[in-house]
């Protein structure tokens, strides 16, 4: 039920606005902030003076170069790196990666670790996560009290509230409430995010020109994932992280998917599907557990060299992705697409069939104008998205308390 605006919400919202403006712009002057927020100079002056007093913002060095203009020089406002810190935890297939990041976004401590996620017990998996977080918190460089939030990301399905992993291809375990577990263990607020959603968040921060209000990030990896930003908001399902693009149905009753069903997009475009088709193993063959990046690259090389089952496998992948995107575009209209992950490096093999398929669909009417970008490396992107997500939570919840920003449901990316 919608609720009226209380008088004290006003300040909080405008504080949040100023912090957000600084985070976006880097070192904006008060005048610039006034311009972007539409608030008056007096208001910005009052708020920024508060924020500096609280140690959230700091005035930049006046020695900034290039201030050749006449008049009082602008003094840039920046985020105080010591105002807080956050932690990112990225859990992917056989790999756990943690970083501590200061309020200004710089990494101050990190650790990575190989695990056998597919065979680990529930307890072991949780234990490893807790242990690696604890080690980072015990790092002498880190002031534990400053760590204001932990953001986890995992490949798989999470709940809308960003509390739990519901299902993941990297482990047979299901329904682990990682956020609750870490909060109970360390007393630090935590969220559990979907990896592809974090990719989308990161793309938006990296290149706001290109990835602004509407775009799609597709992970082409062992499975197929998607992060979707629509009208400037991260799109999530009503109960889960949603956007399970890989499990849209491409061919009813078709190839066997890792999820146990048949005909999903992933069953044609996931690494294991490309592998299976390249080896001509037949669509009913049980998906293999893992195909290494090196193997996939070798496959792509072969496909580029000569016609044959490898090339055909990539063609089928492109076709499935194309029809899937076409159906998606029927619902949301076309938008720029970023292809991320190891198979994005083979996008040249995928693109022709993809474009041909998409042109057969309602959403592909302007197939030519749909632009694709590729980024073979998903991990840095996920980490970055987690960091920005956690930092904007701190911005909103801790430094401008009272403004609702629960979970990840439909919340602004910026």
Partner DNA sequence: CTCTATTTTTTCGAGCCTCAAAAAAAATAC
Partner DNA sequence: GTATTTTTTTTGAGGCTCGAAAAAATAGAG
Binding residues for its own copies, rule: CB under 8 A, are 1-7, 10, 13-14, 17, 20, 36-39, 43, 213-214, 230-231, 237-240, 242-245, 247-253, 259, 261-264, 319, 323, 326-328, 330-335, 357, 360-363, 409-410, 412, 414
- Which listed option, its own copies, DNA, none, makes contact with residue 27 (CB within 5 to 8 Å by class)? none
- Which listed option, its own copies, DNA, none, makes contact with residue 319 (CB within 5 to 8 Å by class)? its own copies
Q: List alpha helices for 168-308, DSSP H.
A: 178-186, 195-206, 266-269, 271-278, 293-305
Pick the closer one to its own copies by CB: 380 or 410.
410
State the DSSP code for 27.
Answer: S
In whole angstroms, the minimum distance from the beta carbon of 400 to DNA comes to: 11
Pick the closer one to its own copies by CB: 58 or 409.
409
Measuring CA to CA, how many Å separate 294 from each of 298, 308, 379? Answer: 6, 20, 16
Are 151 and 99 spatial neighbours (Cβ–Cβ below 8 Å)?
no
Pick the closer one to its own copies by CB: 206 or 261.
261
Could you tell me how many helices (H) and strands (E) the chain has, helices first? 12, 15
- Which listed option, its own copies, DNA, none, makes contact with residue 360 (CB within 5 to 8 Å by class)? its own copies
Pick the closer one to DNA by CB: 12 or 251.
12
- Which listed option, DNA, its own copies, none, makes contact with residue 112 (CB within 5 to 8 Å by class)? none
Instruction: Write out the two tokens for 396.
Output: 């909103």
Distance of CA 69 to the CA centre of its chain: 40
Pick the closer one to its own copies by CB: 7 or 145.
7
- Which listed option, its own copies, DNA, none, makes contact with residue 301 (CB within 5 to 8 Å by class)? none
Number of CB atoms found within 10 A of residue 251's CB? 16
Residue 341 backbone zone (phi > 0: left; psi -120 to 50: alpha; other: beta): left
CA proximity to 52, closest of 3, 87, 90, 19: 19
CB under 7 A: which stretch of 10-18, 88-96, 213-221, 345-353 binds DNA? 10-18
In whole angstroms, the minimum distance from the beta carbon of 56 to DNA comes to: 15
DSSP per-residue string spanning 93-124: TTEEEEEEEETTS-EEEEEEEE--TTT--HHH
Among 26, 31, 213, 305, binds DNA (CB under 7 A): 31
Q: Verify binding: residue 135, DNA, rule CB under 7 A.
A: no
Pick the closer one to its own copies by CB: 62 or 232.
232
- Which listed option, DNA, its own copies, none, makes contact with residue 251 (CB within 5 to 8 Å by class)? its own copies
Pick the closer one to its own copies by CB: 14 or 88.
14
CB under 7 A: which stretch of 1-9, 145-153, 175-183, 332-340 binds DNA? 1-9
Pick the closer one to DNA by CB: 172 or 402.
402
Angstrom distance (rounded) from CA 395 to CA 84: 10
**Strand boundaries in 371-410, DSSP class E:** 372-375
* Burial degree of 302 (CB within 10 A; 0-12, 13-18, 19+): middle
Identify the bridge partners of residue 89 per DSSP, sorted by sequence position: 98, 152
- Which listed option, DNA, its own copies, none, makes contact with residue 245 (CB within 5 to 8 Å by class)? its own copies
Among 16, 21, 22, 39, binds DNA (CB under 7 A): 39
Are 387 and 151 spatial neighbours (Cβ–Cβ below 8 Å)?
yes
Per-residue binding string, DNA, 45-74, x by CB under 7 A, is: xxxxx------------x----xxxxxxxx
Angstrom distance (rounded) from CA 85 to CA 235: 27
Cβ-proximal residues to 355 (8 Å cutoff; 6+ apart), any chain: 318, 322, 367
- Which listed option, DNA, its own copies, none, makes contact with residue 311 (CB within 5 to 8 Å by class)? none
Angstrom distance (rounded) from CA 70 to CA 361: 58
CB under 7 A: which stretch of 24-32, 139-147, 307-315, 366-374 binds DNA? 24-32
Binding residues vs DNA (CB under 7 A): 4-8, 10-11, 14, 29-31, 38-43, 45-49, 62, 67-75
């Amino acid at each position: 039920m919608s609720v009226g605006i209380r008088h004290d919400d006003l300040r909080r919202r405008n504080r949040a606005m100023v912090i957000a403006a600084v985070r976006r712009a880097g070192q904006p002057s008060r005048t610039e902030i006034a311009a972007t927020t539409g608030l008056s100079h007096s208001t910005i002056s009052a708020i920024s003076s508060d924020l500096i007093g609280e140690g959230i913002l700091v005035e930049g060095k006046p020695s900034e170069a290039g201030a050749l203009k006449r008049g009082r020089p602008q003094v840039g406002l920046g985020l105080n790196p010591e105002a807080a810190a956050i932690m990112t935890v990225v859990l992917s297939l056989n790999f756990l990666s943690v970083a501590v990041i200061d309020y200004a976004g710089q990494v101050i401590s990190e650790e990575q670790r190989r695990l056998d996620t597919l065979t680990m017990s529930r307890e072991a998996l949780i234990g490893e996560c807790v242990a690696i977080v604890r080690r980072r918190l015990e790092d002498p460089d880190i002031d534990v009290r400053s760590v204001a939030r932990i953001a986890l990301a995992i490949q798989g399905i999470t709940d809308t509230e960003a509390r739990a992993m519901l299902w993941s291809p990297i482990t047979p375990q299901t329904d682990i409430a990682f956020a609750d577990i870490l909060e109970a263990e360390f007393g630090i607020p935590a969220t559990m995010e979907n990896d592809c959603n974090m990719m989308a968040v990161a793309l938006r921060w990296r290149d706001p020109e290109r990835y602004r209000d509407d775009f799609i990030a597709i992970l082409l990896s062992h499975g197929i994932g998607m992060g979707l930003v629509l009208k400037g908001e991260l799109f999530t399902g009503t109960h889960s992280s949603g956007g399970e693009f890989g499990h849209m149905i491409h061919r009813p009753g078709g190839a066997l998917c890792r999820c146990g069903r048949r005909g999903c997009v992933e069953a044609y475009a996931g690494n294991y599907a490309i592998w299976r088709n390249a080896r001509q193993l037949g669509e009913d063959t049980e998906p293999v557990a893992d195909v290494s990046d090196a193997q996939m690259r070798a496959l792509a090389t072969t496909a580029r060299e000569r016609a044959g089952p490898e090339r055909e496998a990539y063609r089928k992948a492109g076709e499935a992705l194309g029809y899937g995107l076409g159906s998606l575009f029927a619902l949301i209209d076309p938008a720029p697409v970023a292809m991320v992950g190891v198979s994005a490096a083979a996008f040249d093999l995928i693109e022709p069939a993809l474009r041909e398929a998409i042109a057969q669909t309602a959403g592909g009417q302007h197939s030519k104008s749909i632009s694709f970008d590729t980024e073979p490396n998903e991990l840095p992107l996920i980490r970055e998205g987690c960091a920005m997500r956690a930092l904007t939570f701190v911005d909103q919840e801790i430094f401008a308390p009272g403004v609702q920003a629960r979970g990840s449901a439909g919340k602004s990316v910026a």
